[in-house]
Structure 1
Amino acid sequence: MKEQLVQYKKSFSFVGLMLAALFFAASVTPSLLPRTYLVQGILSGFALAIGYTVGVLAVWVYQFFEFREPAGRTQLIAKRITVGVVALLFVGFLWRMTFWQNSIRGLMGMEDLETAYPYRTAAIAVVLGAILVSLARAFVAASGFVAGKLNHILPRKVATATAFVSVGLVVLFLSNDLVAKNLLSVADSFFAKLDERSDDEVKPPTNETMTGSEASLVNWDSIGRQGKNFLALGPTQAEISDFIGEEAERPVRVYAGVRSRPTMRGRAKLALEELKRVGGFDRSVLIVATPTGTGWLDPSAVDTVEYLHGGDTAIVSIQYSYLPSWITILVDPQRSIDSAQALFDEVYGYWKTLPKDGRPRLYLHGLSLGSLGSEESADLLTVFEDPIDGALWSGPPFPSKQWKSVVRNRNPESPAWLPTFRDGRLLRFTAQENSLEPGKEWGPMRDAYIQYSSDPMVWFSPSLAWSRPAWLTDPPGPDVSPYLRWYPIITFLQIGFDLPMATTVPIGHGHNYAPSSYIDGWVAVTQSEYASPSQIKSLKDVFRNKGVPKP
């Protein structure tokens, strides 16, 4: 038994173990968001396993090309030096963990940690890394076993390749059909039930001119939880009147849920008919809003624009999913695009038949996955003959083609986290501080993006695994740790692990977009009527004091 244990220990790759330790060290450096020791431990466990795998592959390539190995004593000395250096880096990086985590927390207005629990992180990482490496070794052993059987009827190299592919396909089938699909099914069931729930304070409207009332074309029970919150919890006519100091209009809100009609096109047609029924086209401002994956519309965005226009607004939206955006964007981001396209086509098709001097100004809006769908819903060829008035998008996710193209082709002197595009007449960017240049002239359409430099939903990309991102500049964005460095593979893992945590940080950072950012955006894009400097300051104070509920 003792000999078997010794042989098992010797079976591990020295290079693999050293790279595993280095990958661990790099993984505890700061990324975009602060992390708990549990999340950090899981992330570092994956880093350990990947580092070991890279080391094993490197040795295999070295041996395949038959490079000469160092002599025995030279090799021994080199190993001892390597172990010493790697051990120092491992311990040193663990020691710096708390400092690095606090370098992010301080920029986001969070209290400093007394400790980031580095030893707990290391323990979790080692256990998880060992499990993952063992699974990988089991895969290799299974491939070798199958290759041994096939070697009786096939040449050795053909048998090895066939065995590797065969075992790989079996693992892929099991992980995809049995694990991934079941996990997705569980998530789908959980979030579907959550979508059917209603918060206690949310009741069906009694006003017949409101969506969800007894007179509405949209049945209240067919609307999801987030849609009901949107319809019932917005600012009242009285609250807006108090803010503007005169009689305000009652804002119009229209929403159709995934159960309101079986198809996206059906929901879009229903939303249009309901919008016409409640007088949405009689308002001065009409906004076609695409929600996030859960069907949520950020109160920071929709409430603020209603105040800025004295309630003389209409906002229409339809639900396409009830899964969180970070899941939907990995599973089926096309849902957002198809839904936004269907709703825009219906609303725009009717809007352009109205007299130009008697119809509302038309704008687009979307946050996160909603931004992805919204930006693709109104292509230039469609609106060229009769342009809409503009758009305000926030937190554009990494698959967004239009956003990606603009950032890639930005003016060269501007950073990716706050780019400028051409002369700024058509499209502008802003962040925590207003960068929309209020005194600069706009063109006939006004489009703006709000993006934070600490938002992983914006900055994640598969290319992080092999290339340094353009957004990691010197100096970095205002809420990005100055100690964030790009490491191949590791930075991809770090930002990937940040995705599900994107809304866990304070408002004004990560994927939590602040009311003040929306206020500046709406003022610039919609030319708000109630937007004097004192009114803007007052409105920002209102939202800062009352806070904004998150999903």
Structure 2
Amino acid sequence: MRYFDKTGLYYLPLYLGLLFFASSLTPTLIPRSWLIQGVLGGLVMGLGYLIGRSAVTLWRLMALPEPSGRVAVTLRIVTGLPVAAVVALCLWQARDWQNSIRSRMGMELEENVETLQTVAVALAVFALLLLLGRLLLWLFDRVRFWLYRYMPARTANVAGFALTGFLLLVISRDGLLDRVIASLDTSMTIAQKLFDDAPPAPRSEMITGGRGSLVSWEALGEPGRNYVTQGPSAADITGFTDRPALQPIRVYVGRAQAETAQERADLALAELIRQGGFDREVLIVAMPTGTGWLDPGAVDPVEYMHSGDIATVAVQYSYFQSPLALILETESGLEQAKALIDAVHDHWRSLPSDTRPRLYIHGLSLGAWSSMHGTGLYAFLDDPISGAFWAGPPFPSGLWQSIIASRDAGSPASAPTLRDGQLVRFATHTDDGGGPRGWGPMRIMFLQYASDPIVFYEPASVFRAPDWMNEPPGPDVSPHLLFMPVVTQFQLAVDLALANTAPAGHGHAYYAPDYIGPWVAVTDPRDWTPEDTARLIAHCSAGFRMGCDHNQPER
């Protein structure tokens, strides 16, 4: 009986698949339910099995000797028992591993880990993948056997493999992918219908889309209409600060307003000028997330800090949620950010330096990535902006990556320091960025959570551990986190999908109280005290009339 017996199970691939499954039970950044864990476990088990099968095939192609008889049986036992022990140990520890994340995020601990359900789902997913693999092998055999009639066996095998891959590409492209794109087209159609179902336009001339506005109320879309109408009023701000306040200016241009990024940027600038945005003390260019949503918890507090003497301008560039926008409309956000920031910065530079507002750039998630890209060297060097505040910067962000790479030796990637903090600082859930003192002429602030996979996902984790895995874990990261080649990559990919399911202040769920300290540090509001900061945090945490809904997910 041969160890690699074609008529039975490939024990080596099966053992490798079981080790992959066991490794998938270890914690990463976001807590997983038993269902998600089962799907993940079955997926990586199938992947481990595939890798093992490929290794067996390579072994045979090289005509290397294969154990048989008692040697084969002994090897099965010697290798199988440790694998079984590892799987049993990981299943036993799975609940405690998940609770090690949940406890650090202030979540209710799991009493039961639903081991049987997890294993059942994993086996079902593995069986499905195995069936698909058998079908693909059958298809490959049919193709290469047909080619044997016309060419030598080795040539037919290579050509059959290539042709099978081409058939799969055609099927997936013209079948599955087309269905996905069609569903996305449907979602875009729904988004367009929102324009047709818009409520009556406001009558005020100081609201984007209202009387005399250069921007169409219908074309704003639901995110834009909510943004320009649901912020704090001058009366709200006065009631909180007990000081006279202005009505904050919010300019927004919807994706449907114009065809090109430059046209939308030019219109946003014209509307900003019409409403007197350049006459305010503070001006913020804010890039929204993929759907056009701007986090009220990020915008409302800074309007309170400056007694409403502030203007914010934003332009929508997509209808998709950020992950889809990143994949399907990668350039849209980058082009829109560059067009808008350039337009506003150029006009701002033309104004007298002693009367123009302080200019800041802001973005959350995909908005942070696009606005970092759009903030070119001119904004930093030629008549530079006053600063920038970026929250949850996605891992592909080039500027963020270069800053992380330049951090002080021994400084963790989750909460880095750079020299004396005069130019760049990092805030976290437990660190507000150090306050408004000690800065140089420009202030750049990042807000990131150690448990945010959108920030700390690492494509190279297929083969090597990310730097942050080799550092002491952040306050909301499990100390039991373990790197496993290939498996960790899939765990982090699942974390990406679950990033917004974490409690507020963890994962990718950024919320108002954590924006407040960094905004104070970056914009240094006039006559603002630490007591004011504490009151504003308490006010926003209580969920009063601010729009600071810190439980509202990115849409």
Shorter-chain TM-score category? over 0.9
1:221 — aligned with what? Answer: 218
2:63 — aligned with what? Answer: 66
Of 155, 174, 177, which aligns to 1:180?
A: 177
Query: Is the contact made by 2:500 and 2:509 (CA closer than 8 Å) also made in structure 1?
Result: yes
1:153 — aligned with what? Answer: 150
State the secondary structure of the residue aligned to 1:371.
Answer: helix
Question: Take 1:332 and 1:219, find their aligned partners in 2: how far apart are those partners?
Answer: 24
2:186 — aligned with what? Answer: 189
Query: Is the contact made by 1:196 and 1:225 (CA closer than 8 Å) also made in structure 2?
Result: no
State the secondary structure of the residue aligned to 2:250.
Answer: strand
Question: Take 1:447 and 1:196, find their aligned partners in 2: how far apart are those partners?
Answer: 39
Question: Take 2:401 and 2:199, find their aligned partners in 1: how far apart are those partners?
Answer: 38
* One-letter code aligned to 2:99: N
1:467 — aligned with what? Answer: 464
Of 71, 74, 88, which aligns to 1:91?
A: 88
State the secondary structure of the residue aligned to 2:312.
Answer: strand
1:169 partnered with 2:166: yes
1:249 partnered with 2:239: no
TM-score (norm 1): 0.94
111-120 or 60-69, which moves further after superposition? 60-69
1:302: Cα distance to partner? Answer: 0.5
1:487 — aligned with what? Answer: 484
For 1:58-457, list aligned pairs within 5 A: 58-190=55-187, 192-194=189-191, 196-197=193-194, 204-381=201-378, 383-434=380-431, 436-438=433-435, 441-457=438-454
Query: Is the contact made by 1:310 and 1:530 (CA closer than 8 Å) also made in structure 2?
Result: no
Query: Is the contact made by 1:49 and 1:129 (CA closer than 8 Å) also made in structure 2?
Result: yes
TM-score (norm 2): 0.94
State the secondary structure of the residue aligned to 1:335.
Answer: helix
2:546 — aligned with what? Answer: none
2:498 — aligned with what? Answer: 501
1:318: Cα distance to partner? Answer: 0.4
1:421: Cα distance to partner? Answer: 2.5
> Any idea what the Cα deviations from partners look like across 1:494-514, whole Å, max 9, x if unmatched?
111121221112110011112
Question: Take 1:37 and 1:221, find their aligned partners in 2: how far apart are those partners?
Answer: 44
1:4 — aligned with what? Answer: none
Cα 1:324–1:452, aligned 2, differ >3 Å: closer, same or farther?
Answer: same
> Any idea what the Cα deviations from partners look like across 1:67-105, whole Å, max 9, x if unmatched?
333342122012023222222222322222222111111
1:517 — aligned with what? Answer: 514
For 1:536-547, list aligned pairs within 5 A: 536-546=533-543, 547=549
Question: Take 1:40 and 1:93, find their aligned partners in 2: how far apart are those partners?
Answer: 13
Query: Is the contact made by 1:392 and 1:447 (CA closer than 8 Å) also made in structure 2?
Result: yes
Question: Take 2:198 and 2:426, find their aligned partners in 1: how far apart are those partners?
Answer: 37
Question: Take 1:526 and 1:202, find their aligned partners in 2: how far apart are those partners?
Answer: 35
* One-letter code aligned to 2:25: V
State the secondary structure of the residue aligned to 1:297.
Answer: coil
Question: Take 2:421 and 2:261, find their aligned partners in 1: how far apart are those partners?
Answer: 34
* One-letter code aligned to 2:260: T
1:317: Cα distance to partner? Answer: 0.3
Query: Is the contact made by 1:293 and 1:324 (CA closer than 8 Å) also made in structure 2?
Result: yes
Query: Is the contact made by 1:371 and 1:394 (CA closer than 8 Å) also made in structure 2?
Result: yes
RMSD of aligned C-alpha atoms?
A: 2.2
* One-letter code aligned to 1:234: G
Question: Take 1:45 and 1:113, find their aligned partners in 2: how far apart are those partners?
Answer: 22
Question: Take 2:203 and 2:105, find their aligned partners in 1: how far apart are those partners?
Answer: 42
1:40 — aligned with what? Answer: 37
For 1:21-32, list aligned pairs within 5 A: 21-32=18-29
Cα 1:234–1:439, aligned 2, differ >3 Å: closer, same or farther?
Answer: closer
1:10: Cα distance to partner? Answer: 3.6
Query: Is the contact made by 1:326 and 1:499 (CA closer than 8 Å) also made in structure 2?
Result: no
> Any idea what the Cα deviations from partners look like across 1:132-186, whole Å, max 9, x if unmatched?
1221222222222211221232222221111111110110222133212321330
Query: Is the contact made by 2:451 and 2:477 (CA closer than 8 Å) also made in structure 1?
Result: yes
> Any idea what the Cα deviations from partners look like across 1:195-215, whole Å, max 9, x if unmatched?
7548x9986433211102132
Query: Is the contact made by 2:361 and 2:387 (CA closer than 8 Å) also made in structure 1?
Result: yes
1:191: Cα distance to partner? Answer: 5.2
> Any idea what the Cα deviations from partners look like across 1:11-45, whole Å, max 9, x if unmatched?
43211111111111111211110122222222112
> Any idea what the Cα deviations from partners look like across 1:240-276, whole Å, max 9, x if unmatched?
1112111111100010111111221111111111111
460-469 or 415-424, which moves further after superposition? 415-424
Question: Take 1:185 and 1:485, find their aligned partners in 2: how far apart are those partners?
Answer: 40
State the secondary structure of the residue aligned to 1:508.
Answer: coil
* One-letter code aligned to 1:419: P
Question: Take 1:9 and 1:538, find their aligned partners in 2: how far apart are those partners?
Answer: 71
Cα 1:176–1:405, aligned 2, differ >3 Å: closer, same or farther?
Answer: farther
173-182 or 101-110, which moves further after superposition? 173-182
188-197 or 144-153, which moves further after superposition? 188-197
* One-letter code aligned to 1:46: L
420-429 or 96-105, which moves further after superposition? 420-429
State the secondary structure of the residue aligned to 1:316.
Answer: strand
Question: Take 1:259 and 1:78, find their aligned partners in 2: how far apart are those partners?
Answer: 66
Query: Is the contact made by 1:254 and 1:315 (CA closer than 8 Å) also made in structure 2?
Result: yes
* One-letter code aligned to 1:17: L
167-176 or 295-304, which moves further after superposition? 167-176
Query: Is the contact made by 1:309 and 1:530 (CA closer than 8 Å) also made in structure 2?
Result: no
Of 16, 20, 29, which aligns to 1:19?
A: 16
- Taking every aligned residue pair, what percent have the same amino acid on both sides? 41
1:439: Cα distance to partner? Answer: 7.0
1:325: Cα distance to partner? Answer: 0.9
> Any idea what the Cα deviations from partners look like across 1:467-491, whole Å, max 9, x if unmatched?
1001113420111111111111111
